[in-house]
Amino acid sequence: MGATAVIGAQWGDEAKGKIVHHLCRRARMCVRFNGGANAGHTVEDGRGTVRLHLVPCGALHPGCQGVIGHGVTVDPWVLADELGGILAQGRSHPELLLSERAHLVLPHHRLLEEREGTAQRIGTTRRGVGPCYTDRAARRGLRLADLIDERQVREHLRAASRVAGGGFDPEQVVEDLLRFRDRFAAHIGDARAAIAGALERGEEVVFEGAQGTLLDLDCGTYPYVTSSTTTVHGIGWGTGVPTARVERVVGVTKAYTTRVGEGPFPTEEGGEIGERLRAEGGEYGATTGRPRRCGWLDLVALRYAHAVNAFTDLALTKLDVLSGLREIRVAVDYRIEGQRVTGFPPRAEDLARAEPVYEVLRGWEEDIAGIRDYEALPSAARRFVRFVEAQVGVPVTFIGTGPGEEAIIVRRRG
């Protein structure tokens, strides 16, 4: 089946991990191309719940290699911890390949994120990801390939310590990095060539996006965004493999909307509805534990995400969370200062003033948790799905009906 991309269509946390895990049952490779340990992908399978930050979700399947492309910022301490957690659950060691061109997140990146105030202003995940991408763009970063040269590593850390004004022991960090290099030596290499080779052999490759389209550095709600390319375009950017090789682009959206951190969110519901969605959906950040802001599904934003990514399929997740609501609202347009707006405004200031124009759909009482057959959904739930399809112009191929890996409806192909 070639290459499939799984892309967040909202502000992240769309339950991409579940969809990726499902799609990787038969895949040879699962590739991360953007973000870093700011991502939090939750997978719930027969062995328990795992929260992954750097290890690609598909790599939990034996036979599926987890590949970390050069667009990913790699925090070696987080990666080592994460692998420890996976092994502690009795799982086998995931097969991993890390791009030698990927940049390292170092202790001064986290310190700078706090000191420069970005953490507070944007409401970041405080993982040092933004400052690491800053160093990369400023051409002063340290890459996995550089770990080969001990002297360079030592000089880099001494300079970083001076820039950060202390706060960590550079010699200890050098020691940790060299230990990491020795442990992972066999897993650091040419990820681009490995992905290209798999595609050449006709093997199935799944690209796992982190964060979502509305957090993209350029296409998102700037400046309240992350520092990487979170859209389908991030595949070429973050792996060196042409994005044109991707045949299928699955956009993942929840049946409602959430956001963590600062920034505009037109359909946010502060009151009872927001609290209910948070409680029913377990809407707390997988990386930071922060309560997520919750609100109705926003089709203006979803149509925009489709325009950016050209989705071939949609995955509509967490549909079960809407059960029991008498009516369900869906934003179909915005109104900004009395004017009806159908497009997604480029300025956060304008988006902050946008009032959603809602279409009100009938809800359903039935508990739909764990349903796997589309026809078994209540008619009001099917009407909701059809409404989304018609508004966005993309078929809903996957529907999430609960947190477990089995709680999924797969329509047509998949």
Active site residues: 13, 41
By the rule CB under 6 A, 377 interacts with ligand IMP: no
> Which element (helix H / strand E) includes 140?
none
Please state, in angstroms and rounded to a whole number, the distance separating the CA atoms of residues 128 and 112.
8
5, 6, 7, 13: which one binds ligand IMP (CB under 6 A)? 13
Q: Contact 221/264 with Cβ under 8 angstroms?
A: yes
**The pair of three-digit structure tokens given for residue 77, joined into one six-digit string:** 């301490």
Residue identified by tokens 């991360």 is 32
Identify the CA nearest to 259 among candidates 246, 270, 250.
270
Q: State how far the Cα of 411 lies from the Cα of 376, in Å rounded to an integer.
A: 12
> Do 229 and 34 meet the contact criterion of CB atoms below 8 Å apart?
yes
Task: For residue 40, state whether it binds ligand IMP (rule: CB under 6 A).
Answer: yes
Among 10, 211, 257, 323, binds ligand IMP (CB under 6 A): 211
Q: Which stretch binds ligand IMP (CB under 6 A): 18-26, 37-45, 76-84, 370-378?
A: 37-45
Q: Which listed range, 33-41, 83-91, 96-104, 151-159, lies at the site for ligand IMP (CB under 6 A)? A: 33-41
Per rule CB under 6 A, is residue 294 in the interface with ligand IMP?
A: no
Considering only residues 246 to 285 of the shown chain, the ones binding ligand IMP according to CB under 6 A are 260-261
Q: Does 52 bind ligand IMP (CB under 6 A)?
A: no
Contact 129, 104 (CB under 8 A): no
Query: How many Cα atoms occupy the beta-carbon half-sphere of 321 within 13 Å?
Result: 28
Both structure tokens of 337:
């200062």
Among 6, 7, 10, 12, binds ligand IMP (CB under 6 A): 12
Segment interacting with ligand IMP, rule: CB under 6 A, options 119-127, 270-278, 319-327, 394-402: 119-127
Does position 291 bind ligand IMP by CB under 6 A? no
Among 4, 99, 124, 309, binds ligand IMP (CB under 6 A): 124
Among 4, 10, 38, 397, binds ligand IMP (CB under 6 A): 38
Name which position in 64, 83, 194, 215 contacts ligand IMP (CB under 6 A). 215
Number of residues that bind ligand IMP (CB under 6 A): 21
Measured over the CA atoms of residue 37, residue 233, residue 231 and residue 67, the dihedral's sign is negative
- 90: Cα separation from own chain's centroid: 26
The minimum distance between CB 302 and ligand IMP, in angstroms, equals 17
Q: How far is residue 229's CA from residue 73's CA, in Å, rounded to a whole number?
A: 12
Beta strands 48-52 and 41-45, pairing class: antiparallel
By beta-carbon proximity to ligand IMP, the closer residue of 129 and 255 is 129
Minimum separation from the CB atom of position 362 to ligand IMP (A): 31
User: Does residue 109 touch ligand IMP according to CB under 6 A?
Assistant: no
Task: Provide the 10 A C-beta neighbour count for residue 190.
Answer: 16
CB of 122 to ligand IMP, least distance (A): 5
Residue type, 29: M
Site for ligand IMP in 220-239 (CB under 6 A): 224, 226-227
